[in-house]
């Protein structure tokens, strides 16, 4: 399968994480350029990852001539950079979220179709090993029919919505939001309120849902991203705790579980494999009989030794993203997370905010008002 020449624009913290993933996929990608307006940052990235540095993204596109570019910059710059890439026939992947507004998202989707390029928005949280395990558990049927799903986030609602949509496996059809400005905690210097929003959701498959954007600003734990829960007729998923009705499942003899009234509680367990001197997630599971598990499908792409500490589920997710992106470009197929899904992700959030702003007016999706440009930020 053909290798792709890839360039990356934006060499900050998230960009560096992407670069570490890219250079580990030596049979899929050749890193031909890194770009950043900050000369010190792009110089450091060039030295570390062995790619020519550029401070102009257009120059990088013209000189390095990548087949694909990854944009790890503010989504406020996506439109102009994607336009420059599309004019040159370069495929584009952007970091989450895909845009501030629906008109911006629509313009980029339309441009990609008109120019004949593949355009993908990277959303990795639903690809984390524990989320993959939950998806597999729900698809197994042991938990019965899903009736309700909910999520909340403090700092990255697009990740939470992305996970929720993959768990429910359906689009949202109606949204009713409520919210108001509340003080953040801890309050930033000078004080500033932030919009708190709570929204009721109805999905096309009959599932009801709840989305809440909280107001605290700083990161504390990984749960800042994807606090998702699911209620089914035969069990519940409460973040990372799994509860299944006793008459719906058999626990593994001697396994990790406890009886809680009329359900079994199964903690999610994990194990690692040491590759290149670094622990890498290899498996996560719950002790049912038979065991329901996720296993790392591509240990050959273990992160480079340049990483420090244990490899994370996010590392695994980015590897999967880039393998998926390579397949989409080289085989001309849809990626596992399409731009239509990415658009729907921000559409749900925009609808929640707009419904709250309009006094909890019920909004039907897709939103068709061409004047609706409310940003979810």
Residues 301 and 273 in one domain: yes
In whole angstroms, give the CA distance from residue 293 to residue 313: 15
Indicate whether 85 pLDDT > 90: yes
Residues 149 and 250 in one domain: yes
In whole angstroms, give the CA distance from residue 223 to residue 225: 5
Mean pLDDT of all residues in the chain? 90
Q: pLDDT of 5-38, one tens digit each? A: 999 999 988 899 999 999 989 999 999 999 999 9
Under the banding of pLDDT at 50, 70 and 90, the label for residue 301 is confident
CA separation, residue 11 to residues 24, 71, 100 (Å): 17, 9, 21
Residues 97 and 153 in one domain: no
Residues 46 and 130 in one domain: no
Under the banding of pLDDT at 50, 70 and 90, the label for residue 369 is confident
What ranges in 311-372 are assigned the alpha helix state H? Answer: 313-331, 339-357
* Residue 92 in domain: yes
* Residue 369 in domain: no
Residues 113 and 131 in one domain: no
Residues 98 and 145 in one domain: no
DSSP symbols for 245-263: ETTT--BPTT-S-EEETTE
What pLDDT is stored for residue 377 in this prediction?
47
* Residue 361 in domain: no
Residues 109 and 153 in one domain: no
CATH number reported for the structural domain that contains residue 132 in this entry: 3.30.360
221 CB-contact burial (10 Å; exposed 0-12 / middle 13-18 / buried 19+): exposed
Residues 286 and 154 in one domain: yes
Last residue of a domain, one of 75, 94, 121: 121
* Residue 79 in domain: yes
* Residue 331 in domain: no
Residue 93 bridge partners (DSSP): 70, 120
Helix or strand run (H / E) with residue 54:
strand 53-54
Let me know: does 344 contact 171? Beta carbons within 8 Å: yes
Let me know: does 9 contact 73? Beta carbons within 8 Å: yes
The residue to which tokens 């307006």 are assigned: 37
Q: How many helices (H) and strands (E) does the chain have?
A: 9, 19
Helix or strand run (H / E) with residue 137:
helix 129-140
Torsion sign (Cα): 18, 315, 335, 341:
negative
Find the domain containing 294 and state its range.
Answer: 126-308
Q: pLDDT of 90-101, one tens digit each? A: 999 999 889 888
* Residue 286 in domain: yes
What pLDDT is stored for residue 120 in this prediction?
93
What pLDDT is stored for residue 207 in this prediction?
98
Last residue of a domain, one of 74, 93, 121: 121
Residues 16 and 91 in one domain: yes
pLDDT (mean) for 302-312: 65
Indicate whether 373 pLDDT > 70: no
- What are 106's two structure tokens? 């629509």
pLDDT (mean) for 102-106: 90
Last residue of a domain, one of 308, 334, 358: 308
Indicate whether 310 pLDDT > 80: no
pTM for this one?
Answer: 0.92
Residues 219 and 266 in one domain: yes
Residues 94 and 229 in one domain: no
Is cis: bond before 366, omega within 30 of 0?
yes
pLDDT (mean) for 76-85: 96
Indicate whether 246 pLDDT > 80: yes
Q: pLDDT of 158-212, one tens digit each? A: 899 999 999 999 999 999 999 988 877 666 565 667 788 999 999 999 999 999 9
Let me know: does 264 contact 286? Beta carbons within 8 Å: no
* Residue 298 in domain: yes
pLDDT (mean) for 357-361: 92
Under the banding of pLDDT at 50, 70 and 90, the label for residue 50 is very high
Number of domains in the chain: 2
Residues 141 and 117 in one domain: no
Q: pLDDT of 116-155, one tens digit each? A: 999 999 999 999 999 999 999 999 999 999 999 999 887 7
What pLDDT is stored for residue 22 in this prediction?
94
């Amino acid at each position: 399968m053909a290798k792709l020449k890839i360039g990356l624009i934006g060499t900050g913290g998230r960009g560096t994480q992407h670069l570490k993933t890219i250079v580990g996929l030596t049979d899929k990608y050749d890193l031909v350029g890194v770009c950043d307006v900050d000369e010190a940052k792009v110089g450091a990235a060039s030295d570390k990852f062995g790619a020519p540095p550029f401070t102009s993204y257009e120059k990088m596109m013209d000189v390095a001539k990548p087949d694909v570019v990854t944009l790890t910059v503010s989504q406020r710059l996506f439109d102009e950079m994607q336009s420059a890439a599309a004019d040159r026939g370069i495929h584009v992947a952007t970091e989450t979220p895909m845009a501030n507004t629906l008109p911006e998202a629509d313009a980029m989707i339309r441009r990609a179709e008109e120019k004949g390029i593949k355009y993908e928005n990277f959303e990795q949280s639903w690809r984390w090993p524990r989320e993959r395990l939950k998806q597999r558990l729900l698809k197994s049927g042991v938990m019965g029919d899903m009736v309700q799903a909910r999520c909340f986030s403090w700092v990255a609602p697009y990740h939470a919505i992305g996970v929720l949509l993959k768990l429910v496996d359906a689009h949202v059809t109606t949204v009713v939001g409520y919210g108001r400005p509340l003080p953040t905690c801890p309050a930033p210097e000078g004080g500033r309120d932030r919009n708190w929003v709570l929204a009721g959701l109805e999905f096309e498959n009959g599932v009801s849902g709840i989305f809440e954007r909280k107001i605290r600003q700083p990161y504390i734990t990984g749960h800042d991203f994807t606090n998702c829960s699911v209620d089914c007729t035969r069990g519940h998923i409460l973040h990372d705790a799994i509860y299944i009705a006793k008459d719906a499942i058999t626990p593994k003899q001697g396994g990790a579980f406890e009886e809680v009234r009329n359900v079994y509680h199964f903690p999610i367990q994990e194990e690692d494999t040491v590759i290149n001197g670094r622990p890498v997630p290899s498996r996560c599971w719950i002790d049912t009989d038979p065991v329901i598990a996720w296993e790392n499908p591509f240990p050959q792409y273990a992160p480079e030794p340049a990483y420090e500490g244990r490899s994370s589920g996010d590392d695994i997710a980015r590897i999967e993203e880039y393998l998926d992106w390579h397949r989409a470009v080289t085989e001309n197929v849809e990626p596992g997370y399409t731009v239509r899904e990415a658009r729907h992700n921000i559409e749900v959030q925009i609808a929640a905010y707009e419904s709250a702003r309009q006094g909890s007016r019920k909004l039907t999706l897709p939103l068709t008002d061409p004047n609706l440009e409310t940003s979810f930020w």
